[in-house]
Amino acid sequence: MNQQNGLLTIAEASTLIESGHFMSIAGDETALRKLPPGHWIGGTIPYFIGSEGGVTTKDRVYVQLIECFAQPPRLSLRATDELPAICHEAPDNGYTLLIIPAFSEAHRLFAENAPNYEEMYMKPLVGWIAGVHLAELGTRKPLVVLGETLEFSDDKAAVIDVALPDHRYAQVEIVNPFRAAPTPAIRFPTSGFSAGACEIDGQARNFAEYLVSHQLDSRLPLVADYCGALINVSIRHIDLENGQVDFYAPVFAGTEYRMASPLTDYVRTFAAALPGALYQPEFACNCVLNFLYSELEGKQAGAIGGPMTFGEIGYQLLNQTMALLTIGE
């Protein structure tokens, strides 16, 4: 990545903005509101992997510059009903970077329906879900911002469409260190962000009761094979009294899930999962649950930095995964 990418002070980021750079920016709301107008989109989050390792800060922002394009990128805020056309309207050769506020209707509908969007998986789509400090859940809303107007929104998506020169191409990489454990297969009768009833190896069970009675580690995600790609669904909350489990991404009816195997060394496992011929990414993000569960604050966490988010987007919504976008020739 460009040496100007990474965790910057408000003054450093403002200088880049005022110089006319195109970029995506992650930061706490208080920091983002101090930035000047310009060619940027942003989302709220205070958790990052920087050059010094895991960092929680409200005073700096994470900048990822967009420097390769055939024509000036197109920045916009998209309403929920505009998201199904996001790939159809994307450049024929290029990519789209998308930021959605967590817990919004846009978040829910994208998560549940993105795999069926027109031209999905045919044009590179990458991004993340904005969040807040976990101590502020319920008191502050995750936000996105369109830097050109400094409009903040808790119910729209911030988007950059980037057209690339003919000799360049964009590639989305999903780095998932988790693998399914040799545990019983789990299927759910309905899709959604929560579940009660399920089948465990073909037997009707309540999922909350199953997790608690078997003392399964809820920090580990469910893992499913989506046409050859391993996709995680993270557990948000277990409500044993009401027999309900809430997730950070939807489970899909009929899909076979298994609990993930635990990681003994997070950083080493992630490094081993990286593609062998990986270029330095144009964009990268990772999951705040990896940040928390692996206790990365103050620790070196590999060479690839970025915001630690409430969800990652590699075409569809992901959990506990690193999403990358690289530009090749």
| pLDDT given for residue 263 in this prediction | 84
Please give the backbone phi and psi of residue 93, each rounded to the nearest 5 degrees, phi first: -125, 105
| pLDDT given for residue 2 in this prediction | 47
Which two tokens mark 119?
């031209």
| pLDDT given for residue 267 in this prediction | 73
**Which residues, in sequence order, are bridge partners of residue 144?**
43, 153
Helices and strands in the chain: count of H runs, count of E runs = 6, 27
CA angle 74–111–219, rounded 5-degree value: 120
- Judged by DSSP in three states, 105 sits in helix
What residues of the chain score a pLDDT lower than 50?
1-2
For 61-104, give the DSSP string. EEEEEE---SSPPEEEEE-GGGGGGTTTTS-SSEEEEEEEETTS
Decide: 187 and 105 in contact? Cβ < 8 Å: no
Which two tokens mark 281?
């990414």
Which two tokens mark 199?
């089948």
Which two tokens mark 68?
């390769």
| pLDDT given for residue 127 in this prediction | 98
DSSP code at position 134: G
- Judged by DSSP in three states, 143 sits in coil
Other C-beta atoms within 10 Å of 310: how many? 28
**Which residues, in sequence order, are bridge partners of residue 7?**
62
| pLDDT given for residue 229 in this prediction | 83
CA-based nearest residue to 121, from 38, 25, 229, 277: 229
Sign of CA dihedral 79, 84, 88, 94: positive
Please give the backbone phi and psi of residue 213, each rounded to the nearest 5 degrees, phi first: -65, -30
pTM of the entire predicted model: 0.93
What separation in angstroms does the CA of 240 have from each of 143, 213, 247?
A: 31, 10, 14
CA-based nearest residue to 26, from 248, 290, 306, 323: 306
113: left (phi over 0), alpha (psi -120 to 50) or beta: alpha
Per-residue pLDDT of 242-277, as tens digits, reads 999 999 999 999 999 999 998 887 777 776 777 655
| pLDDT given for residue 276 in this prediction | 59
